[in-house]
Amino acid sequence: MNKHHKREHLALVVGAGVAGSEAAWQLAEHGIRVIVVDQNALPYGKIEDGLPLWHIGLRDRVEADIDRKLRHPNIKFLPLFTVGKDMSLDQIMNDYKFDAVILAFGAWKDRPLPVEGIEKFRNRQLIYQNDLMKWFNHKHEPDFAGPHYQIEDGAVVIGGGLASLDVIKIVMMELVGRVLRDKYGLDYDVFTMEKKGIKKILEENGLKWEDLGLKGATLVYRRSAREMPLKVALSDSEADKEKAREVAEKLLHTYKEKFMFDFVPNAVPVDFTEEEGKLTGLVLEKTRTEDGKLVYTGERFVLPTTQVISSIGAIPVKLPGIPYRGDAIDTEGPSGSKVKGFDNLFAVGNAVTGKGNIKMAKEHGRQAMREWLWAKREPVAGVLRQMDEKYLTDTDKRAESISDYILSKPIPTQEEVDHVWELVENKRREIGYKDYDSWIKAHKPVRLEEMLGLKKKDKSGSGSKS
């Protein structure tokens, strides 16, 4: 028996990212033994693969906090373990003596672009946000084995949330950076381009947009700029809603001017055009908003393009036997975390919200985590901070409720708990896992800022960890 263990209750957390590590740490602090499994080698989730790499300080602070939590003596971390592949959820629930199983696996599956037949272009002329972001963050690594993409001039981004603004920035930086290198011998790293913006870089070099010979990229959103979900109103009053709309419109204008992309509002993709098996355009239908509802007008037009990047959100991968409410796990109970139809199955984070971004995972995190994630992020720091008032169900509160549930149950036998603990040890030995720190050190990727010899600072000026 480990001398650190105060109790012998046992929980399993599926997913080690922001929400999962927080839930595990909260349980461990109550003396509950916790096994945390994750499908990836690293526990950081979308902090590593979904947050654009220029957020250096933010990324490092959040990852350091996840490390701190997962080092807890009552926690065992098991990487490279996928529920549904390595072991079914049914086996986990029925064959092992877990007092509670907590699903915190986030939202990794891109929401399909609702255009019939367009999936045949996937990873060629159709790219999804998760795939694009992973490539962008890791393409500099010598051993990166994922799909490689070439951003094409005239690319169209479908979306309208904060994540789509990051995507269109990436597209424009890739396009302009390539021309500056090939035509003018100017080599700008992504950190400089993101901080200064394309307009300023061109001005510094006496260049105009027309000099580049580019069409550029276009962001298409189904509603107007004022209706983009970039700012949450502080209340339901019309005054606060109007203020939120004004901020959203201003924010889009700031991005558009700085990174020089086009914007098509009030349009949705409904079809595509092709020639000889290659995508040549998107058929868009014009929309309008009536009483808050989106109305299709029937008026259609073709936007020529040879590449579409979908940034319309991500959803949790659905596990057999789990009830869902739309794309999210259906939960109930005072904390909104108990999975319907189960006694000891819970869910936290993006698996509950049905969202596929770090921001929503953080909204289920602790106050300190919220401060780290939002306080310094520009130009949307104020927008994100305001959202704190909108969401009251946090992972620490949910975990508190789950802890109360676990501790109210009879303590399982020492043999039952030790048996599961040893199974995890055997799995870790199979993959060469010796201890947390050495595993993390061996699997953390080469950072682009280190390769470039840049000082590790984010845009707020906060230094990242050493």
Confidence (pLDDT) at 123: 93
Residues 6+ apart with CB under 8 A from 306: 125, 152, 154, 155, 278, 279, 280
pLDDT of residue 34: 94
- Cis-peptide into 52, omega within 30 deg: no
How far, in Å, CA of 41 to CA of 50, rounded?
A: 15
Specify the DSSP class assigned to residue 301: E
Return the pLDDT at 455.
Answer: 57
User: Can you give the pLDDT at residue 454?
Assistant: 81
Instruction: List the one residue out of 38, 40, 48 whose CA is nearest residue 16.
Output: 38
Buried-state track 32-50, b at ≥16 Cβ within 10 A, e below 16: bbbbbbbbbbbbbbbbbbb
What strands lie across the sheet with 308-311, from one edge to the other? 126-128, 308-311, 156-159, 218-220, 262-264
Could you report the average pLDDT of every consecutive run of 10 residues in the chain (466 residues)? 54 93 90 93 91 91 94 96 92 88 88 96 95 95 91 97 95 98 96 97 98 98 94 82 92 96 98 97 97 95 98 89 89 82 88 60 36 34 38 57 77 79 93 97 93 61 32
Look at the pTM and tell me if it is higher than 0.75. yes
What pLDDT is stored for residue 402 in this prediction?
Answer: 79
Domains of the chain: 10-109+315-451 (3.40.50.720), 112-312 (3.50.50.60)
